[in-house]
C-alpha cells in the first residue's frame, strides 16, 4: 500500500472518531440541559418569585430549550441516501460490490468532515446558549432571593 493510501485511511479513521466523540458529547450535554431544566422547574415551583424573576427565569428556560433543540439537530440522522448505509440499503449486492471496488475515500473523508463540522457548530452554539440560560437562571434566583430578603 502506498503512503497516500495509508494517510487517507488514517484521515478517514480520524474523522469517524471525531464524529463519534461529538455524538457522545452531545448526548452528555443534552442530559445536562435536561437536568438543569427539570431542576430549575422544580425549584422555581416552590419559590415565591417576583415578576422580574419570573421573566428572567422564563427567558433562561427558553434559552435552554433552544440549546436542547440545537443538540437534537446535531444528532438527527441523515437518511437521504446519498452515501453510506442509507445508500447501501437501496442497492443490490452486485451494486454494492461495484461501489466498494471504486470507493472514493477522499470524497468520504470530505463528506464526513462536513458532517462533523456541522455537528461541532451546533454543539458550540448549544454550549453558548446553555451558559447564557444558566446565567439567566442564576439571575432569576438572585432576584427571587433579593425579593424575599
Domain ranges of the chain: 3-148
Q: What is the pLDDT of residue 8?
A: 87
pTM for the predicted model, two decimal places? 0.83
Read out DSSP for 41-110?
Answer: HHHHHTS---HHHHHHHHHHHHHHHHHHHHHHHHHS---S-SSHHHHHTTS-HHHHHHHHHT--HHHHHH
* Banded pLDDT at 71 (limits 50, 70, 90): very high
Q: What is the pLDDT of residue 148?
A: 59
* Distance separating alpha carbons of residues 43 and 26, to the nearest angstrom: 26
DSSP label of 2: -
Amino acid at each position: 500500500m502506498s503512503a497516500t493510501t495509508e494517510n487517507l485511511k488514517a484521515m478517514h479513521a480520524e474523522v469517524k472518531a471525531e464524529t463519534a466523540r461529538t455524538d457522545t458529547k452531545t448526548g452528555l450535554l443534552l442530559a445536562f440541559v435536561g437536568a438543569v431544566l427539570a431542576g430549575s422547574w422544580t425549584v422555581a415551583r416552590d419559590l415565591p418569585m417576583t415578576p422580574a424573576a419570573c421573566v428572567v427565569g422564563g427567558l433562561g428556560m427558553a434559552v435552554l430549550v433552544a440549546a436542547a433543540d440545537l443538540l437534537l439537530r446535531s444528532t438527527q440522522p441523515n437518511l437521504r441516501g446519498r452515501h453510506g448505509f442509507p445508500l447501501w440499503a437501496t442497492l443490490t449486492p452486485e451494486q454494492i460490490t461495484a461501489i466498494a471496488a471504486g470507493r472514493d475515500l477522499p470524497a468520504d473523508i470530505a463528506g464526513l468532515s462536513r458532517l462533523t463540522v456541522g455537528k461541532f457548530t451546533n454543539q458550540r452554539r448549544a454550549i453558548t446558549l446553555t451558559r447564557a440560560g444558566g446565567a439567566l437562571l442564576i439571575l432569576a434566583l438572585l432576584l427571587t432571593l433579593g425579593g424575599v430578603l
